[in-house]
Chains A and B, each alone.
Chain A
Amino acid sequence: MEPERQPAFPAALKRGVALLLSLAFASAAQAHALRLNAEATGEGVSGLAHYSDGSPARSELVYAYDQAAQQVARVRTDSDGRFLLPLTRAGRYRIVVEGEEGHRAELQLSYAPPDSALATALRAELAPLREDIARLQQRTALADIVGGLGFIAGLFGAVAFWLARRPRATERR
């Protein structure tokens, strides 16, 4: 049955949609997940918060909690999603970043103030490396995508198989 041919979307509408889409929306809050990297530096814990599409999480609140679950620092990320939580005491901390609309990420890390100029310099030198490692860990791996698709195919295939083997009511009669 061939439905009667309709004109495609009117050209004016297409242009309107394209125009609206090309408007830059400053918020990337509709991405799927918030990611958080953090590492110890000379002055505290510095880090980067970004959304899963790669856009930085701008001016979101980042908290540091000590082991007694007391909030010890609270800062906002800058326009690149970077932040520096000033910490002075050694210990294990929980770093939490919260975005609007239900985004949240946290991690645990140990912090100790550097005991020498060398340690401070080393931390600064290693920071890009740590960021690279975090980025690699957070990248969506092709294996995960293929694995997920395989799982879906297998699950629905199994259901279809089970339904097909089950004797139908009409056949039983």
Chain B
Amino acid sequence: MHIAEGVLSAPVLLAGGALAAAGVGLGLRQVPESRVPFAGLLCAMFFLASLIHLPVGISSVHLVLNGLCGILLGWGAFPVLAVALLLQALLFGFGGLSALGVNTLVMATPAVICGALYRLAARHGAPGVSRWLAAAAGAGAVALGVILMVSALWLSGGHRYLPLMGLVLLAHLPVMLVEALVTAVIVSALQRVRPELLP
């Protein structure tokens, strides 16, 4: 889900950069002071998650963890993911520097949306369903990210929207499953040992 250098057109890069900057600005105001060290921890997790490839058959599946960031940080996911993506681009060559804004938008927008939906549903739902909600948020954040990424590619031209969408969504099915499982496990573990960290 990292878009490389030289793939997107200039208007898409500029619009993505502007929207991501707005999201980062909003996120910086939303993170309470007491959560800053926790946000740093999540940033480190997201930064590292991209390196973990679980072999699946002849291919492999990796973690994204943007849904988890959204559940735990809300709008704070924007600055946290922007920092992690910057470091991934600089140190690992994942995604181009010029595409940093678009990549932040692609990862953090689903995080915010799924995090908000999780909060809403967890507040009104029965106490036992939160792990299922977390699983849905984890998978949904990846799926939404794929939709945003394909949209960015399509807006830059040269792609037919629906065939590419089908292909990329299919390729991400295992990612969504792993993501759902990991997000649910982490949220239910937090619920047991540190419920105050959850929204």
Which A residues are closer than 8 A to B by beta carbons? Answer: 1-4, 6, 9, 17, 20-34, 52-55, 98, 100-106, 138, 140, 144-145, 147-149, 151-153, 155-157, 159-160, 163-164
The list of the 7 closest CB pairs from A to B, nearest first, reads: A24-B57, A156-B40, A102-B3, A144-B91, A32-B94, A53-B53, A104-B4
Within 8 Å by CB of A156, from B5, B43, B93, lies B43
| Cα A65 to Cα B198 with chains together (Å) | 53
Contacting residues, chain B, for A159 (C-beta < 8 A): 36, 40
Q: Are A101 and B164 in contact (CB under 8 A)?
A: yes
Within 8 Å by CB of A27, from B7, B59, B149, lies B59
| Cα A155 to Cα B87 with chains together (Å) | 12
Q: Is B60 an interface residue (CB 8 A)?
A: yes
Within 8 Å by CB of A30, from B1, B188, B195, lies B1
Contacting residues, chain B, for A28 (C-beta < 8 A): 59-60
Binary per-residue interface labels of chain B (156-172) against chain A in the complex, 1 for a CB within 8 Å, 0 otherwise:
00000000100110111
Which residue from chain B places its CB closest to the CB of A151 in the assembled complex?
A: B87
Q: How many chain B residues have a CB neighbour from A under 8 Å? A: 61
Contacting residues, chain A, for B175 (C-beta < 8 A): 30
Which residue from chain A places its CB closest to the CB of B28 in the assembled complex?
A: A159
Q: Are A17 and B84 in contact (CB under 8 A)?
A: no
| Cα A21 to Cα B33 with chains together (Å) | 40
Which residue from chain A places its CB closest to the CB of B195 in the assembled complex?
A: A1
Q: Are A152 and B87 in contact (CB under 8 A)?
A: yes
Closest beta carbon of chain B to A88's beta carbon, Å: 27
Known: A22-B57, A33-B93, A160-B37. 4 other contacts (CB 8 A): A24-B56, A25-B56, A31-B53, A152-B87
Closest beta carbon of chain B to A68's beta carbon, Å: 18
Contacting residues, chain B, for A145 (C-beta < 8 A): 48, 51, 91
Q: Are B177 and A17 in contact (CB under 8 A)?
A: yes
| Cα A159 to Cα B168 with chains together (Å) | 38
Closest beta carbon of chain B to A37's beta carbon, Å: 14
Within 8 Å by CB of A29, from B84, B94, B168, B195, lies B168
Q: Are B36 and A160 in contact (CB under 8 A)?
A: yes
Closest beta carbon of chain A to B12's beta carbon, Å: 11
Contacting residues, chain A, for B191 (C-beta < 8 A): 3
